[in-house]
Amino acid sequence: MPCLGDLPSGELNRVPLVAPLSRNMSFAAVPSVEPFKRIRHFAKGEVVFRQGEQARGVFLIRRGSVKLYMTSGKGRAVILRIARAGEMLGLAATLSAEPYLASAETLEATELAYAEREQFLSCLAQDPDVSLSVARQACANYQNACRQVSLLGLCRSAGERVAHFILNWPSPVLDLTHEEIAQAAGTTRETVTRTLAGFRKNGWASLAASKLTIQSREALEKLVA
């Protein structure tokens, strides 16, 4: 699968960026953000960058969603988070000049903007508004990591981890596969299938067109209490 770490100039469109860097600011009001005018479109299931690659820059999601996941030497995968429009990918690695700690793969048709590391750092040094927004994004990533540690380490059972993941999903409808939920909840696909079947049987969730809809948050909250 193609990787955005290699950015052939012929495949890039240079157009004004209109998507927000975060929920709190718009690029339309920040004319100095020139580095993010390199745009690339991805189909579902394409790799943006891979775990262990040296960071070349930061990526901004204009439209779509991307899963960030780590894999072990034995091939086991754990999803760290699902990033959506307005969020940045590869921020920590770009700031620290370290390899990417996780791989990034699109979950749907996705549009990304890309800024090379040196240009991005120069932009931060010149514009305090952009720096503040980036700091907020870094804080949000840290909070998400703490939630993931809580999910994987503090829940008493696999069923609780699945319920905890569902409750922290930003929408009452989940459009992930059972395998992706398992990777995020630190369990197996078979366990997720059995757990979700139990949730549906109890009337806590419903399934239609491969999308899971939460019917009773209260019941799930009691399960993880």
Do 16 and 104 fall within a single domain? Answer: yes
Do 125 and 205 fall within a single domain? Answer: no
What spatial distance separates the first Cα and last Cα of the chain, rounded to whole Å? 42
CATH number, residue 183: 1.10.10.10
User: In terms of residue numbers, what domain contains 133?
Assistant: 9-152
Do 161 and 119 fall within a single domain? Answer: no
Where is 74: in which H helix or E strand? none
Burial of 201 (0-12, 13-18, 19+ CB in 10 A): exposed
By residue count, the chain amounts to: 225
Where is 92: in which H helix or E strand? helix 91-96
Do 73 and 160 fall within a single domain? Answer: no
CA 88 from chain center: how many Å? 9
Residue 78 lies in a domain: yes
pLDDT of 15 over the 50 cut: no
Find out whether 184 and 150 touch, Cβ atoms under 8 Å.
no
Do 167 and 62 fall within a single domain? Answer: no
* pLDDT 10s digits, 61-117: 989 999 999 998 888 888 888 999 888 999 999 999 999 999 999 999 999 999 999
Burial of 8 (0-12, 13-18, 19+ CB in 10 A): exposed
Residue 1 lies in a domain: no
Residue 189 lies in a domain: yes
* pLDDT 10s digits, 18-76: 333 444 444 433 334 566 778 899 999 999 999 999 999 999 998 999 999 999 888 88
Do 120 and 43 fall within a single domain? Answer: yes
Mean pLDDT over each residue of the chain, to the nearest integer: 81
Domain boundary among 152, 171, 197: 152
- CA pair distance 181, 192, nearest whole angstrom: 7
| Amino acid of residue 107 | L
Do 141 and 178 fall within a single domain? Answer: no
Domain boundary among 152, 172, 193: 152
- CA pair distance 194, 101, nearest whole angstrom: 31
Give the pLDDT band (50/70/90) at residue 13. very low
Do 200 and 115 fall within a single domain? Answer: no
How many structural domains are present in the chain?
A: 2
Residue 203 lies in a domain: yes
Q: Which region holds residue 203: left if phi is over 0, alpha if psi is between -120 and 50, else beta?
A: left
Do 80 and 25 fall within a single domain? Answer: yes
Distant-in-sequence, close-in-space partners of 65: CB < 8 Å, separation ≥ 6: 82, 83, 84, 85, 106, 107, 108, 110
Q: If you ran DSSP here, which 8-state letter would residue 122 be given?
A: H
Residue 2 lies in a domain: no
Do 79 and 143 fall within a single domain? Answer: yes
* pLDDT 10s digits, 141-157: 888 888 777 777 777 78
pTM above 0.75, yes or no: no
Do 187 and 82 fall within a single domain? Answer: no
